Amino acid sequence: MGEWQSKKVLVTGGTGFIGSHVVQALLAEGARVRVLAHYNGGGHLGNLGELPSPERAEVEVVWGDLRDADSVRRAVKGMERVLHLGALISIPYSYQDPRSYVDVNVTGTLNVLVACRDAGVERLVHTSTSEVYGTPDTVPIAETHPLRGQSPYSASKIGADKLVESFYCSYNLPVVTLRPFNAYGPRQSTRALIPTILTQALWAPEIRLGSLWPRRDYTYVTDTARAFLKAGSAPGIEGMVLNAGYGADISVGELAAMAMQLTGRRVPVVEVAERVRPRASEVARLLCDRTLAGQRLGWEPEVPLEEGLRRTLAFIERRFTPEILKQTILSPDPVHGRAAQP
């Protein structure tokens, strides 16, 4: 991808799960990367801290807040391309504090759009989520499927997506919306579904989850990161929305069974009431139609689910111990303990 050599690129959310992999992929392609990191008082770099020291040293970190238009404007200044991944993503927490999701995901995206418009960036990639489709009318789900706000999180992302659409139509802003389907892999929060299942399959006396019947389309994070780079460089796609998913789905219960096969342990799988989403809010199935991404980006996922789970499991075993994870995997989590992917 020579399109990124020496390009000045801002990544919002670059200290997060997907964002840190996008940063790593950009560095490998020779980009000059700046990350807008949320100020935390301790200078913690989140998942960027997992990068090897030579790579980490190449990243310019600027501290700020997506909700603050001035800090966003300063971060965008001098950049040629912007990859906007910064967002609040936990569905359970969105039930408890929906206003914060509007503040960060909607107002924060507006601040990014205005800053990019005023700075004249050559390409902005905005991150959507497959959750905006809600329970689908038909599968696989194409980009033309209606949007449904079945949680405050998904509603906030729909609002952000529509602001992006309006800036393309009103100001001819060169923006592309990428809509990932359930990314997973190393560095993901242990509260997210796949790490939750894998850690419990390794060490817990039982696997405690929310609803076991919903089906999701899981995409390994390095494949998702490649999709972002493609969306940031492919010609002639301004104004488009593109799905990025593997194109196969699996239920939560089936995923738990696969995890136990990989760990070699058999433990009970228990549906815990406090981790179940409200019935009308649960999205029954997400299965990606990635035809458009294949045609316009030349993107295809490379890592099948079983191989991706093996890699994720190996990371968890290297990175954590049962003692470190005990409080995380066994403590009750509000609503159901699952995080959506942006």
Distance from C-alpha of 96 to C-alpha of 86, rounded to nearest angstrom:
20
Q: pLDDT at residue 21 above 80?
A: yes
The CATH topology of domain 2-183+219-244 is Rossmann fold (3.40.50)
Distance from C-alpha of 48 to C-alpha of 339, rounded to nearest angstrom:
20
Distance from C-alpha of 203 to C-alpha of 323, rounded to nearest angstrom:
10
Question: Does domain 184-216+247-285+303-330 match CATH 3.40.640.10?
Answer: no
Question: Encoding tokens for residue 284?
Answer: 């029954």
Q: Could you tell me if 223 and 303 are in contact, meaning their C-beta atoms sit under 8 angstroms apart?
A: yes
Average pLDDT over residues 149-155: 98
Distance from C-alpha of 35 to C-alpha of 22, rounded to nearest angstrom:
11
Q: pLDDT at residue 107 above 60?
A: yes
E strands within the chain?
A: 8-12, 32-38, 60-64, 81-84, 123-127, 175-180, 183-184, 207-209, 215-216, 219-220, 241-244, 250-251, 269-271
CA dihedral 250, 196, 336, 106 (to 10 degrees): -90
Residue extents of the structural domains in the chain? 2-183+219-244, 184-216+247-285+303-330
Mean pLDDT, the chain, as a whole number? 94
In this predicted structure, what is the pLDDT of residue 329?
54
In this predicted structure, what is the pLDDT of residue 332?
45
Active-site positions read 153
Distance from C-alpha of 89 to C-alpha of 85, rounded to nearest angstrom:
10
Average pLDDT over residues 176-195: 97
Where residue 43 falls among pLDDT bands split at 50, 70, 90? confident
Helices then strands, counting H and E runs in the chain, come out as: 13, 13
- For 274-331, what is each residue's pLDDT tens digit? 999 999 999 999 999 999 999 999 999 999 999 999 999 999 999 887 766 665 555 5
Distance from C-alpha of 268 to C-alpha of 257, rounded to nearest angstrom:
10
In this predicted structure, what is the pLDDT of residue 285?
98
Distance from C-alpha of 133 to C-alpha of 255, rounded to nearest angstrom:
22
Distance from C-alpha of 284 to C-alpha of 280, rounded to nearest angstrom:
10
* Phi, psi values for residue 37, rounded to 5°: -110, 140
- The bridge status of strand 123-127 relative to strand 207-209 is unpaired
In this predicted structure, what is the pLDDT of residue 172?
98
Average pLDDT over residues 83-110: 97
Distance from C-alpha of 302 to C-alpha of 78, rounded to nearest angstrom:
34
Where residue 230 falls among pLDDT bands split at 50, 70, 90? very high
In this predicted structure, what is the pLDDT of residue 235?
98
Question: Encoding tokens for residue 107?
Answer: 């107002």
In this predicted structure, what is the pLDDT of residue 325?
63
> Considering the entire predicted model, what is its pTM?
0.94
